[in-house]
Structure 1
């Protein structure tokens, strides 16, 4: 597939293009092109713009990445042994790209995936600084798309509010974007619910394999008195949107399954902290080691428990002035000191008698 050529008379200049995230030389060859051309390539927004050289102000071709399907490394060798090839598969064809070296290829893949998926890819071999650049690109592209969508006339893809709970397979995407999603993630299901083109209805897009991808689109209208209808030859009334999805699953004996795309989760715990000296805020990664355990309580003293049991046997009722329960170790020890045993009392009396005799004999 050849990228859409720009009209040299009406083509946008660089100043009119979206912000440029990455640029460099790439060799490009479309499906209908016999020879590859070395062009200065700029990734502006989610579109690739091709120039004859870096100083040109008008692009010669452009490639909108909204029809992106996949990006695969091409292991075949180039006449330049350092060059690294890529196969960029779009919805309507495949384009072969050649980067100057392996590092440049990884960077192009990182930037392309970032603007297409709006997420930093985790499977590429990139340096921390390069990953930081990709994070900034993702944030800038999100803000650009948000500003562009808010400037459009309809603020919502649907002018009618959806009634009831929305199924998990609902995606606020266009017909083309729905087809791309289903083709790129075949393991996540083959049927999704989306807004209709007229803004007043819904649509179900399905994908099946029959010597290639076969897409079907079904209109779903909302009744004024409540509920929905699948607009086919024999209309199928459904009370809720969940019933719409279930009806299509049942009608096809389970061949159609709702599209549920699992969003990526973070693999590390990160947090932002401020430097006390200059106030600079930095993103840190929490340590991944095991958590330190809290200090354990000291073991109970067997002797104390034994004295507690004895004191409970001797004095089952505690004094009304005591603040501790009668069975507590502290109260038991208090009674132990104030109430000596008979054996200790006899030893004390005997010692007093001996001291008295010694004092008498000395006199």
Structure 2
């Protein structure tokens, strides 16, 4: 039976490697092959659940927002997308319920002829997904996002990059018309990138250890970056700062005793995570407090004679 939603959500026309071969491929190679296959810049990615409005249950995918297309993979290691959702004709992305830090958000994406629902486990990550999707679909940053200034800065960068990408296109605004050489995948920005200073990054990690332990931030010199980490050792937590240098021919070099060069900023974060056996995790700031302080009145005890 033909999928009634096939016009908006398309399946991959030709799967690449087999499932077993795909699972064995290195993550960096998988990333490059996806970039080559889609020929689109990667703006945001992560686990996401999807269903059409009216369907029984959500299905879990690994999602990648590339250009104005949302690609769905069965897992992080699948090379060929299972389905894709074109966002250029998106009318709106509406939360099913009010923003809450305790409930996994569900968003309804309304298209001219159908609706798709997305569910994200983490409320803060859900707001990032909403921000990225609406920014690339409308080339406009929503004013009601529950995000921090640093995250809004990231969306502004994505908006500019997507605007430039569309200006370079020829023909209809579809992913098939974009040339691979127009895209430098090193421009994708990790979710833990914040427009903060060294002192501010250290302060965030010290005061909010539950939110993560590595922040990527701009360096004082133009075009380079820094990584601030907080790692817990038996003797106690230790804050460190590392310099990340942009390479002239592409990629980024982490300036260690033995320098390490990786292709993207996301790969910089992945390197720190893997080298510490997942002790260092990307910092995810929370936009709002979740507890209300109570003032306990003081009572005066009077003594009677």
* Structure whose CA Rg is larger: 1
User: Which has the higher relative contact order, 1 or 2, with Cα contacts under 8 A spaced 6 or more apart?
Assistant: 2
Q: TM-score, normalised by structure 1?
A: 0.39
TM-score between both structures, scaled by the size of structure 2:
0.46
